[in-house]
Amino acid sequence: MAASSCGRKDPGVPVIASLVPFLLLLLLASCSAALASAKKDGGGKKGARAQALFRAGDEREAYRRIMARMARMEKDCNKTIQAILGSFPFLPAPFVFVLSSPDGDIIHCVPSYRQPAFDHPKLRGQKPEDEPVERPMPKGGADDDDEFFQQAWSDGGERCPEGTVPIRRTTAQDVLRSGSARRFGMKPRASNVRRDSTSSGHEHAVGYVTGDQFYGAKASLNVWSARVASAAEFSLSQIWVISGSFGNDLNTIEAGWQVSPELYGDSNPRFFTYWTTDAYQETGCYNLHCSGFIQTNNRIAIGAAISPTSVYNGRQFDISLLIWKDPHRGNWWLQLGSGPLVGYWPSFLFTHLGGHANMVQFGGEVVNSRPSGSHTPTQMGSGHFPREGFNRAAYFRNVQVVDGDNSLVPAAALRLVADHPGCYDIQGGYNRAWGNYFYYGGPGRNVHCP
């Protein structure tokens, strides 16, 4: 399915007007095809498999809600097209309502007030808040990393119309892979941000700061197509903003890129967000899979593939991410470097993060399921050790935090630690161009990591 696009109407070119009905028919057909696909997902062999897998009442109800949300997206798509019919001369160019991405994703443009976050009882009937005017800036200087990063679905410049947000469609197959409809889109309960995580199967190579009050974090990290050995594992690189103890009251806000065959059904590195208020037990989710994160950007699809990616001994592609707390309204915003905002986590979601973070962490994480009793060969970062340096190893650069004055400052006293340095390691430094930085990652299983 190709993207549908159109420029502004030119009064001097009447042929454009004659194309309007045809273009709108294409858009409506796209939405109808997406709904037909969603219904097909929910029925037939996949529907029977879901019935067999999700026998418990709470699992069946969770699966029903997910399928209903998919169907609702089609209705919202049609309503959006009909609403724009009367103002066709003012359509932005290029625009898209339903797009089939080259990697197989279906992207829906959904009215921003109809995204999953507004199913939350405290948000029903509301709309996204206005973007804050006051944003974190470095003390004594300005940033210049304000470009959008490229994604597979929009590599031709596609974007959703103003007032809508791009949402990657969830399929029945996505839910079936998870093994639990109720916990679909959530990290396993064993997940944690402990730096010594040997008992959980989650292994880290990270830099972190603690012992102060933090109101955000920023860094640039290069993106790789990390090889993940099994669907039960993932590899990610991200920023964690953390508060609370490491017990059941842990609050986190997270964003970065990940390769997760179970969640997405492929091995593409994808832009993601996450949050929890109870150490990954019952609250929170990835991306827009639950009522939490509120998206405001019409050009970035959370959960969609990042393309292109870094090449070993070749060109490097990185993304700049900033998470920060609005000092006026208290919401936690996600921003692309010093440029456009992606959206926000409402402050009422959190307990400890309702005030500030007491720890910020940057780096990589993998799941080691120990296939055949040995360490997994799942890669972290580029799959190469940090000693190989630029063009070969994964990195975080310009590692900063947001202080109480809403200013970006270097992450002083950044501590570096790797759970299993023979498998995944980390090495850091400082220079004028990159500020605080570190290289991290590794291949997993090797002679030093049996």
Would you give the distance in Å from CA 436 to the centre of its chain? 24
**Alpha-carbon span 95 to 98, nearest angstrom:** 10
| Sign of the dihedral defined by the CA atoms of residues 292, 260, 356, 332, in that order | negative
**Alpha-carbon span 162 to 27, nearest angstrom:** 16
Catalytic: which of 131, 134, 365, 388? 365
**Alpha-carbon span 161 to 141, nearest angstrom:** 34
Known catalytic residue at 233: no
Known catalytic residue at 365: yes
3-state SS of the chain is CCCCCCCCCCCCCHHHHHHHHHHHHHHHHHHHHHHHHHHHHHCHHHHHHHHHHCCCHHHHHHHHHHHHHHHHHHHHHHHHHHHHHHHHHHCCCCCCCEEECCCCCEEEEEEHHHCHHHHCCCCCCCCCCCCCCCCCEECCCCCCCCCCCCEHHHCCCCCCCCCEEEEECCCHHHHHHHCCCCCCCCCCCCCCCCCCCCCCCEEEEEEEEEEEEECEEEEEEECCCCCCCCCCCCEEEEEEEEECCCCCCCEEEEEEEEECHHHHCCCCCEEEEEEECCCCCCCCEECCCCCCCEECCCCCCECCEECCCCCCCCCCCEEEEEEEECCCCCCEEEEECCCCEEEEECHHHCCHHHCCEEEEEEEEEEECCCHHHCCCCCCECCCCCHHHCCCCCEEEEEEEEECCCCEEEECCCCEEEECCCCCCEEEEEEECCCEEEEEEEECCCECCEC
CB proximity list for 329: less than 8 A, separation 6 or greater: 129, 132, 347
**Alpha-carbon span 432 to 336, nearest angstrom:** 22
Catalytic: which of 254, 262, 282, 388? 254
Would you give the distance in Å from CA 74 to the centre of its chain? 22
Which active-site residues does the annotation give?
Answer: 254, 365
